[in-house]
Amino acid sequence: MSIQTDTKPWTVPALAQAKRDGRKLVMLTAYDYSFARIADASGVDIVLIGDSLGNVVQGHDSTLPVSVADIEYHTRIVARGLNQALLVSDMPYQSDATPERALDAAIRFLQAGAEMVKLEGAGAHKLEVIRYLHEREIPVCAHLGLTPQSVLVFGGYKVQGREDAAAAKLLADAKAVEAAGAQLIVLECVPSKLAEKISAELSIPTIGIGAGPQCDGQVLVLHDMLGLDTGHRKPKFVKNFLEGSGSVAGAVRAYGDAVRDGSFPDEAHSYA
């Protein structure tokens, strides 16, 4: 049986209220109008135009080639398919290199239909960008842990925050992006206990992807959630919800139900 979902359109303030109420948030990527309609009608709370489109739509080995124009285009067509879900657009590689560049990109995304922008990292200039956008009333979602745009620095896609010093820095970074004005934060490939601690110490919601079940919500890439073969290695946190669901809409509902009832992610889809 599907869990009852809210019928009002999601707003940025409603995200914080969901955390206070203990209501798990369901986030999913989408890149076109038809899948956006399915996600919206199936109870997804937040739709992300992820720069993951570089991998699953464009066929690149990383997200680095994705441009502002790419995100703007996909934002525009996804926005036409949404009535209730909150739409978040990724800031692609180096579009947030300066506050002014970030503002220009964010304006394009909001004018295309987004209601929030997401940027990776918590370095000094990233905190400056978050503050700059926040002061100009542009909602920001931060992204910490494994940040795919930093893959060249990391030397690959690796779990972040396993050593004590790295865990302490990640917690400090999470508090810093909240203080700078972020209103949502994605934690990717972070040990479950660390993600739980971060979630408990922040007032803004945390969205996990490979970060255990104690985050305030979960996100998956649409193609991964459907078990589609994109030619890339599937990480541990991916689960195929299309199996046994009978349809794409059924898979999205099954994913949402599993997030809300706490059965996903389980230990097999989390990192210690």
Contact assessment for residue 45 and residue 26, using Cβ atoms and an 8 Å cutoff: yes
The residues assigned a catalytic role are: 188
- The encoded tokens of residue 227 equal 């078990």
Instruction: Please give, one letter per residue, the 3-state secondary structure of the chain.
Output: CCCCCCCCCCCHHHHHHHHHHCCCEEEEECCCHHHHHHHHHCCCCEEEECCCHHHHCCCCCCCCCCCHHHHHHHHHHHHCCCCCCEEEEECCCCCCCCHHHHHHHHHHHHHHCCCEEEEECCCHHHHHHHHHHHHCCCCEEEEEECCHHHHHHHCCCCCCCCCHHHHHHHHHHHHHHHHHCCCEEEEECCCHHHHHHHHHHCCCCEEEECCCCCCCEEEECHHHHCCCCCCCCCCCCCCCCCCCCCCHHHHHHHHHHHHHHCCCCCHHHCCC
Residue type (1 letter), 256: G
